[in-house]
Structure 1
Amino acid sequence: MADEKVVIGSETKYPLNGILTTPNETKKLFPAVVLVHGSGPNNMDEKIGNNYPFKDLAEGLSEKGIAVLRYDKRTFVYGKEMRKDTGISVKEETIEDAILAADFLRKDSRIDSNKIFIVGHSLGGMLAPRIDSEGGNFAGIIILGGSPRKLEEIMMDQNNDVLNSLNKFLKMIAKKQIAALSSKFGNIYNLSDEEAKSTLVLGKYVRAYYFKEMGEHPSIQYLKEMDKPVFILQGDKDFQVSVQKDYNGYKNLLGDMPNVTFKLYPNLNHLFMPSVYGEILKAKKEYKVAQRVDKQVINDISDWILSI
């Protein structure tokens, strides 16, 4: 296994450092994956607390003969200057760089250009079908802890989960804040693009346009029209997406499609690591515990890729 430092988008305004991890074998062309981050400004290892899920995936998959490309997310490196852009969407934040990463792999003579896959985690999993459609052109799609729902629906559920675990006094305060957020979210699709770009919904920088643009490209539409292989995985102790609404949501919408495979893992959290506290209110504490991505998950992903 070798780690090579690379740059994704070296010709663009936003070059990003990355690592290409390649297997030891050199006799044949490798299949390869592009790792696409969840929400927030993540580094190439997708460091969350004391955990490094993308590093684990890169090491684990390359041991199985699969090359893995990971890179810093654009908002991780250029977040400050990007804040000024009122029209920022998932396209600039995630999609463009994932397509550049796929193109980068296609130019590598060691890699089988017909066997390049996308592994999207969380928000990256929600965007993976769109990334594929807009130029990624992958051999298959792997969705880790994703959702067929709109991002704002998931966020409202997360807020309500927090609300339900608060004491009475805090509940009163939080209820008002959540109601205000709910009414902002409820109005997003009534706004024109220009209005959405000037409407703040979260903090000082997150505007309605970010949610509107993403919501107008629902991932489930891409998946329903897709005949390439799709693998959907989730941990049953994931408190950031729901087994009932997200994992089963995918199953209800796509379960009859022969190209889609599903797997639910007992006692794994959103990072596909063993559950510690299992509740959203203790998310920070949960991710402070240093762990590794479960070996079975890595085995299942590599077996699935190598079977295609």
Structure 2
Amino acid sequence: MKSIFSHVICLAVLLALQPLAEAGPVKDHAGRWLGDLKTPGGRTLRLGAELFTRADGSAWASVASPDQDAIDIPVTSIEENGDTIELTLPFAALTLTWAKDHFKGVWKQGEAPLAFELRKVGDFPMKVRPQTPKAPFPYKNEALAISTADGVTLGATLSIPHGVTRPNVVVLVAGSGPATRDGHGDAHRPFAVLADHLARRGIAVLRYDKRGVARSTGNFEKHTLADLIDDLDGVVRTLKARNEFNHLGLVGHSEGSPIAAAVAARHPESVGFVVSLAGVGLPGLDALVLQDWIWAKDRGASPAEADWAMAYARKFYEVVLAHTEPGARVAALKALYDGLRPAEQDRIRKLEMNQGTLSLAWAQKPFLRASLQADPSADWRAVRCPVLALNGALDHQVPAKENLRGIVAALNAGGNRRVESDILPSLNHAFQTAVTGREDEYGKIDETLSPVALERIVQFAQQQR
């Protein structure tokens, strides 16, 4: 419920030459800046910003909160005015004004602006997990800029193993949420870990920032599932145009799994294999309702309360589907809530059923409505290449049994018999070895990715000849 499926807080061409960002405070003071923000409650919170040039050469920035294990928090807009930079986020704003050798910052979230100073740092102070890749690397990392059909430029990293002629190559496709190419979350970098593991075993890997995140242009808040499919389509076309790899595979996590299926169905001549990790195999509405049922149980709901929560969630999403205009959608949802008995409203608050996809903020996003309308089974039926589908037994966001059954059934219905599937014991949605599988456990686990899962993925990618 905090996100749709992920646990995180067109002709494509390689752009060989990017326009340089014009002079301004972002370009003049590029790098990471960090300061101590004193909150109204008396707590000091480290808050920072990174100023950089995006893949298309334009000036941009992101926000970081190291004490909350969050970096690359995407901004929705940036405005440079003299020595001042205005950064706008969906929930706040940060103003930076240059003052000789540092920035004076003003954080605006709520009624009272909070002033603090930011000074340059080499890197943000983040916890380092044991599996985070460390040099030396037996592969080359190449920065790419990939253009998509609607003019978005994706920032990407292509890792090519040394000494391997025409290796297989895989593209890592992130789940929902503002994912960077490394998949930052809770100080973990799962896509960096997976890319490193694959490249060390002779598999080339491309990973990219989602549109509107980090070095990629575009607007993350306004994207739809179709946009993400088109983005991956552009990545695949770019790799095929290089003509230096053997088989091309797609490795999609969570929502990235049906995105991979859609592109594999669209380009059977280009995509040689697919790996689905915590993949979604149910229609969008059913998948979200099932997730909300588990969410309620995790928050102490009795069986009867969990069933009630599931029914309420379905009504909420049916309202979202019934109204194309966001304003009418919100009005109808408010009427739905006002029509509940006081005890039912209390139950919603108790079970936190007014957060994430069941919030009014999410209800206004085009992405939620498009996701509710999605049915990945049609794309899975059209996938003809070899598929490895893995789900974790302790996944509370994409329940393994129901979703894996849906994926395999659709593949078989389409006549695909080159399918391997497995439910891996003790693994959560993030493919960590877990105890409960709940979302609040992710950051408490030092393991980024289970060695068992890593080995299954590598062996499958190596087997494709």
Query: Which bracket does the TM-score occupy, shorter chain normalised?
Result: 0.7 to 0.9
Q: Is the 1:8–1:100 contact (alpha carbons within 8 Å) kept by the matching residues of 2? A: yes
**Matched-pair identity in %:** 21
Aligned match of 1:132 in 264, 269, 289?
Answer: 264
Distance 2:309 2:180 in 1: 30
Give the length in aligned residue pairs.
294
Displacement of 1:151: 3.0
The residue identity in structure 2 corresponding to 1:163 is: A
1:13-43 CA-to-partner distances (Å, cap 9, x unmatched) read 43222211111124x2111011110011111
Q: Kindly tell me: are residues 127 and 161 of structure 1, through their superposed partners in 2, closer, same or farther at Cα, counting changes over 3 Å?
A: same
The residue identity in structure 2 corresponding to 1:96 is: D
Aligned match of 2:252 in 103, 109, 120?
Answer: 120
Aligned to 1:152: 285
Distance 1:290 1:62 in 2: 22
2:276 aligned with 1:143:
yes
Aligned to 1:278: 436
Aligned to 2:166: 29
Q: Is the 1:121–1:145 contact (alpha carbons within 8 Å) kept by the matching residues of 2? A: yes
Distance 1:79 1:152 in 2: 30
- Aligned pairs for 1:77-92 within 5 A: 77=214, 81-83=219-221, 85=222, 88-92=223-227
Distance 1:32 1:168 in 2: 45
Secondary structure, aligned partner of 1:111: coil
Aligned to 2:213: 76
Secondary structure, aligned partner of 2:394: coil
Aligned to 1:243: 400
Aligned to 2:418: 259
Distance 1:100 1:70 in 2: 13
Q: Kindly tell me: are residues 221 and 242 of structure 1, through their superposed partners in 2, closer, same or farther at Cα, counting changes over 3 Å?
A: same
1:124-176 CA-to-partner distances (Å, cap 9, x unmatched) read 0122111223458411111110121123322222222232243579x98x998
Displacement of 1:263: 2.2
Displacement of 1:62: 0.9
Secondary structure, aligned partner of 1:107: helix
Q: Which runs of 4+ in 1 moved over 6 A?
A: 174-178
Aligned to 2:383: 226
- Aligned pairs for 1:197-212 within 5 A: 199=329, 202-207=359-364, 209-212=366-369
Q: Kindly tell me: are residues 109 and 252 of structure 1, through their superposed partners in 2, closer, same or farther at Cα, counting changes over 3 Å?
A: closer
Q: Is the 2:265–2:380 contact (alpha carbons within 8 Å) kept by the matching residues of 1? A: no
The residue identity in structure 2 corresponding to 1:148 is: G
Q: Kindly tell me: are residues 238 and 101 of structure 1, through their superposed partners in 2, closer, same or farther at Cα, counting changes over 3 Å?
A: same
Displacement of 1:289: 2.5
Displacement of 1:121: 0.3
- Aligned pairs for 1:92-111 within 5 A: 92=227, 94-111=228-245
1:63-109 CA-to-partner distances (Å, cap 9, x unmatched) read 111100001111424799453x4xx41122x2122111112212334
Q: Is the 1:99–1:131 contact (alpha carbons within 8 Å) kept by the matching residues of 2? A: yes
CA-based RMSD of the aligned residues comes to 3.2
Q: Is the 1:234–1:247 contact (alpha carbons within 8 Å) kept by the matching residues of 2? A: yes
Displacement of 1:235: 1.6
For structure 1, the 5+ residue unaligned runs are: none
Q: Kindly tell me: are residues 130 and 198 of structure 1, through their superposed partners in 2, closer, same or farther at Cα, counting changes over 3 Å?
A: farther
Distance 1:168 1:151 in 2: 23
Q: Name the structure where helix makes up a greater proportion of residues.
A: 1
2:199 aligned with 1:62:
yes
For the pair shown, which has the larger CA radius of gyration, 1 or 2?
2
Aligned to 1:269: 428
Q: Name the structure where strand makes up a greater proportion of residues.
A: 2
- Aligned pairs for 1:12-23 within 5 A: 13-23=151-161
Q: Kindly tell me: are residues 107 and 168 of structure 1, through their superposed partners in 2, closer, same or farther at Cα, counting changes over 3 Å?
A: closer
For structure 2, the 5+ residue unaligned runs are: 1-138, 331-357
Distance 1:306 1:143 in 2: 16
Q: Is the 2:285–2:373 contact (alpha carbons within 8 Å) kept by the matching residues of 1? A: no
Distance 2:261 2:146 in 1: 21
Displacement of 1:253: 4.3
Displacement of 1:207: 3.7
Distance 2:373 2:362 in 1: 20
